[in-house]
Amino acid sequence: MAGRMGGGSTKRTESGAGLTAHAAPETGQRSLAGTKRLLVSIHDVGPRSEGAVDRLRDLLSRHVPEDRQALLVVPDHWAEAPLVPGSPFAARLRGWAETGADIFVHGWFHKDLATHDGFGARLKAQHMTAGEGEFLGLDHSTALDRMERGRALIEGITGRAVTGFIAPAWLYGDGAKQALGDAGFALAEDHWKVWQPASGRVLVRGPVLTWASRSRARIASSLFAARALAPVLSASKVARIGVHPGDVGVPAILASIDRSVGRLMRSHVPSRYRDLAA
């Protein structure tokens, strides 16, 4: 699959299929048993990323209705960008939630402020996530406390239940995994699956397509991965795509997101996470 770099093979013509999916987003009425679903999400939503989130929403909206774009909200990004009830940003978040879009609690600080015991854990935390794996090193009670406060803050603003919890960088330590169930979140997600914490039932398996913008090497490898994963995602019953505010600074990533989402819209129906269990 890695050898299939040429873009030529992806141009399958199913003319109009994308339009059909757009014009008739699932209503819950017709049977979706055989339907392939596309889940798109915007990570790291908060007051500091507002401009970038707007750009990502505009880009995704070329293909996916706004109410099918999940938003992963960070309560206080790096302890520098608190989500404040009553603020203009909070009003926008409420408006987005009112469209019916999935809202997830996405950590609290996002950044990993814990100190990790052991070389392996430190290495994993620093090299895999650039220090963004907040929930990798938290003990159970700290994880539970941040989850519950995050949910209370966000639900207080939106006036509706969050869809679930997704840890920063999709990384969960043992304490966080346990706390998910105790906090009563309906859904959680990592890089390889979506599951129901209460029962442990896995609803979706397969990699999420995402891009990294931190360095040239990361950009290059994520552009490569987007091409290499295209046939895998096209064949998936549920395909997931996650985008980040940093993506808007890299035109090649924006183009890759546009291509990838557009391509999947030919075969998949944009959906909500919370409809997965139905």
Return the closest-CA partner of residue 169 out of 202, 203, 128: 128
Using CB under 5 A as the binding rule, whether residue 75 contacts Zn ion is answered as no
Q: CA 242, CA 270: separation in Å to the nearest integer? A: 13
Binding residues for Zn ion, how many (CB under 5 A)?
3
Cα within 13 Å of Cα(57), Cβ side? 19
Give the contact letters, 241-270, x = binds to Zn ion (CB under 5 A), - = no: ------------------------------
Q: How far is the CB of 166 from Zn ion (least distance, A)?
A: 8
Answer for the pair 71, 96: CB distance below 8 angstroms, yes or no.
yes
Residue 43 or 272 having the CB closest to Zn ion: 43
44 vs 196 by CB, closer to Zn ion? 44
Residue 255 Cβ, how far from Zn ion at the closest point, in Å? Answer: 22
Q: 139-166 as b/e, with b when 16 or more CB fall inside 10 Å?
A: eeebbbebbbebbebbeebbeeebbbbb
CA distance 278 to 274: 8
Smallest distance, Zn ion to C-beta of residue 216, A: 21
Smallest distance, Zn ion to C-beta of residue 110, A: 6
Among 36, 37, 43, 111, contact with Zn ion (rule: CB under 5 A): 43
- Of 133, 75, 131, nearest to 106 (Cα)? 75
Find the shortest distance in angstroms from Cβ 43 to Zn ion. 4
Query: Interface with Zn ion includes 168 (CB under 5 A)?
Result: yes
Q: Which of 274, 120, 116 is nearest to 188 (CA)?
A: 274
Enumerate residues 6+ apart whose C-beta is below 8 A from 93: 45, 71, 73, 83, 103, 154, 157, 158
Report helix, strand or coil for 242. Answer: strand
Q: Which residue is nearest to Zn ion (CB)?
A: 43
Query: Of 64 and 74, which has the nearer Cβ to Zn ion?
Result: 74
List the interface residues with Zn ion, window 45-74 (CB under 5 A): none
CB of 184 to Zn ion, least distance (A): 22
Interface stretch with Zn ion, choices 20-28, 40-48, 189-197, 202-210 (CB under 5 A): 40-48
41 in Cβ contact with 243 (< 8 Å)? yes
Looking at 36-44, 46-54, 61-69, 234-242, which segment touches Zn ion (CB under 5 A)? 36-44
Contacts with Zn ion in 105-164 (CB under 5 A)? none
Nearer to Zn ion, 93 or 269 (CB): 93
Between 219 and 243, CB nearer to Zn ion:
243
Q: Which is nearer to Zn ion, 187 or 230 (CB)?
A: 187
The residue within the footprint of Zn ion, chosen from 21, 37, 44, 246 (CB under 5 A), is: 44
Distances in whole angstroms, Cα of residue 125 to Cα of each of 80, 132, 170, 187, 190: 21, 8, 12, 24, 15
Please say whether the beta carbons of 207 and 191 come within 8 A: yes
Which residues make up the interface to Zn ion (CB under 5 A)? 43-44, 168
